[in-house]
Structure 1
Amino acid sequence: MELHQVVLCRALYAEAETYLGRNEGIHVGLAVSIAQDAVELFLRAVMKDRPVPGRKIADDFISCMDYIDAAANHDENKYVPFRARLIELNKARVNFKHYGLIPDKADARRLLGYVGDFFDVAAVRFFDVRFADLSVTDLVTSTAVRERLKQAERGLREEELESAFGYSAEAVDVAMGELVALLTRRWSRWPPPSSMRFDDAAMRLVRDLEGYVDGTASRSERMAIMLALAVNITDLVRFESIVPFIHRMAAGNYVWDRMQDASGLTISDAEFAVSFSTKFALAVQGRMPHSD
């Protein structure tokens, strides 16, 4: 089963939704184009999973649907669902890619809705899985980040909202730290050389000063990286407003500190937090060097 390829479709669709959330016209066109790519990748996964002996794998989008429908042998339950809507999506993608015609944002939102409907039906029809259950976190290669995203997803499923919020915040912080570690040279300044002697009060003062400086630098690095990764500022502000403050302890574990009132937060907010942290982790991963 080409399930890994279907998970990639989930990631592409999430990326299309991210582009749709931006304000520039070109991002709307890219959202439609990426959504079409997600559908075509899915169709190719179906063809690979259900090859037709003696029949050549299709090259273009419409032919992919023809191939799958022909393989269904007149069983309508095995046809490509929402075919007419997918043809409309493909037309919009061709108009953008080949003619520079940017779709209206309302039309693009409607087309992405069609894609969501397609995946909801097609994932069950062809692979017997719910599209919503596919975890994009499986594409995250960092074990530390992926484990936290899995914990956040578990909190979401079990409606432990604070767990979903807290682990989402941890995932972002760990991903950020891994990227910063590549960009800057870190060294330990503690403990000080044995030739230096401080009494307890002086030691606390120096540690507090170092913590303040490191904290200020960390916040600056965080914002610079967010901007460099083209993170949607509106989404970032929402994320920061709903997740708890986190403090990483010397042992590497985190402590969550909920300063704001969380009584009004909903499952929708938790879903957003998990989605944001997953997209951020993949955005960071896309900038990391990979070994062959």
Structure 2
Amino acid sequence: MELHQVVLCRALYAEAETYLARNDGVHVGLTVSIAQDAVELFLRAAMKDRPVPGRKIADDFISCMDYIDAAANQDENMYVPFRAKLIELNKARVNFKHYGLIPDKADARRLLGYVGDFFDVAAKRFFDVEFSDLSVVDLVTSTAVRTRLKDAERSLQEEDLEKVFGYSAEAVDVATGELVALLSRRSSRWPLSSSMRFDDAGARFVRDIEGYVDNVAAASERMTIMLALAVNINDLVRFESVVPVMHCMAGGHYKWDRMQDASALTISDAAFAVDFATKFALAVQGRMPHSD
């Protein structure tokens, strides 16, 4: 079963949703283009999963649907669903890619809705899985980040919201730290307390200064990375407003401090936090020269 490809489709679909949240025409066009790529990847996975003897694997989008319908052997329950809507999607993608015609944002939103409907039906029809159950987290190669995202997903299923927010925030912090570690080999920004002698009061003062500067520098690095990765600012603001503050303790363990009232936070906020953290982890991963 080509299930790994279907998980990639889930990642592409999520990426298309991200582009739609941006306000310029190019990203609206990319929404349609990436959504079409996700559908075509799915169709090719379905073709590999049920080959037609003596028939060549199709090259173009429409022929992919023809191939799958032929493999159904007149069983309409195994035809490609929403065919007409997918053809409309493909036409919009061709217009953007080949002729530079940018779709209206409302049209792009409608087409992306068609793609969501397609995946909901087609994933069950061809692979006997619920598309919403597929986890993009499985594409994250960093063990430390993936483990935390898995913990966040499991907590979401259990509706333990504070753990969802905490593990999601940890995942973002760890992913950020891995990228910062790659960019900077400094073991300490202000190694004064280890290189100079102070009395107890002086040592505490210097360590406090070091901690303050380190926190400011870390926040600056974090924001620089967010901007470099083109993270949606509105999403970042929402994420920061729902997750607790992270304090990394000795040994890599985290302490969570809830600075704001969490009583109004909902399961929707928790699902958003996991989604944001996952997309961020994949964005960081895409900039890494290697993974563990």
TM-score range normalised by the length of the shorter chain: over 0.9
Aligned residue for 1:204? Answer: 204
Aligned residue for 2:48? Answer: 48
**Following the alignment from structure 2 to structure 1, what is the Cα–Cα distance between the partners of residues 215 and 174?**
15
What do residues 16-52 of structure 1 show as CA deviations (whole Å, max 9, x unaligned)?
0000000001100000100000000000000011111
Unaligned runs of 5+ residues in structure 2 are none
SS in 2 for 1:59: coil
Q: Does 1:182 align with 2:209?
A: no
Q: Contact conserved, 2:47 with 2:57, CA < 8 A, in 1?
A: yes
Aligned residues: 289
1:191: how far off? 6.7
Question: How does the TM-score come out when normalised to structure 2?
Answer: 0.97
Aligned residue for 1:276? Answer: 276
Percent of pairs identical after alignment? 83
What do residues 168-210 of structure 1 show as CA deviations (whole Å, max 9, x unaligned)?
10000000000001111222438725xx433221211111100
Aligned residue for 2:57? Answer: 57
Q: Does 1:70 align with 2:78?
A: no
What do residues 191-237 of structure 1 show as CA deviations (whole Å, max 9, x unaligned)?
725xx433221211111100011111111111111100000101101
Counterpart residue type for residue 97 of structure 1? K
SS in 2 for 1:256: strand
What do residues 50-76 of structure 1 show as CA deviations (whole Å, max 9, x unaligned)?
111110000000000000000000101
Q: Does 1:249 align with 2:249?
A: yes
Counterpart residue type for residue 14 of structure 1? A
Aligned residue for 2:194? Answer: 192
What do residues 143-169 of structure 1 show as CA deviations (whole Å, max 9, x unaligned)?
000000001101111111111111110
**Following the alignment from structure 2 to structure 1, what is the Cα–Cα distance between the partners of residues 276 and 153?**
12
Aligned residue for 2:122? Answer: 122
**Following the alignment from structure 2 to structure 1, what is the Cα–Cα distance between the partners of residues 187 and 73?**
65
Q: Contact conserved, 2:193 with 2:206, CA < 8 A, in 1?
A: no
Aligned residue for 2:139? Answer: 139
Q: CA RMSD in A?
A: 1.1
**Following the alignment from structure 2 to structure 1, what is the Cα–Cα distance between the partners of residues 147 and 240?**
21
**Following the alignment from structure 1 to structure 2, what is the Cα–Cα distance between the partners of residues 134 and 200?**
55
**Following the alignment from structure 2 to structure 1, what is the Cα–Cα distance between the partners of residues 216 and 129?**
46
What do residues 79-136 of structure 1 show as CA deviations (whole Å, max 9, x unaligned)?
0011111001001101110111111111100110110010011001000110011000
Instruction: Please list every run of at least 4 consecutive aligned residues from structure 1 whose deviation after the TM superposition is greater than 4 angstroms.
Output: none
**Following the alignment from structure 1 to structure 2, what is the Cα–Cα distance between the partners of residues 130 and 190?**
55
Counterpart residue type for residue 277 of structure 2? S
Question: How does the TM-score come out when normalised to structure 1?
Answer: 0.97
**Following the alignment from structure 1 to structure 2, what is the Cα–Cα distance between the partners of residues 158 and 257?**
21
SS in 2 for 1:103: coil
**Following the alignment from structure 1 to structure 2, what is the Cα–Cα distance between the partners of residues 241 and 93?**
36
Aligned residue for 1:21? Answer: 21
Q: Does 1:163 align with 2:150?
A: no
Q: From the superposition, tell whether residues 170 and 190 of structure 1 become closer, same or farther in structure 2 (CA, over 3 Å).
A: farther
Q: Contact conserved, 2:193 with 2:203, CA < 8 A, in 1?
A: no
SS in 1 for 2:53: coil
**Following the alignment from structure 1 to structure 2, what is the Cα–Cα distance between the partners of residues 127 and 220?**
45
Aligned residue for 1:5? Answer: 5
**Following the alignment from structure 1 to structure 2, what is the Cα–Cα distance between the partners of residues 213 and 190?**
12
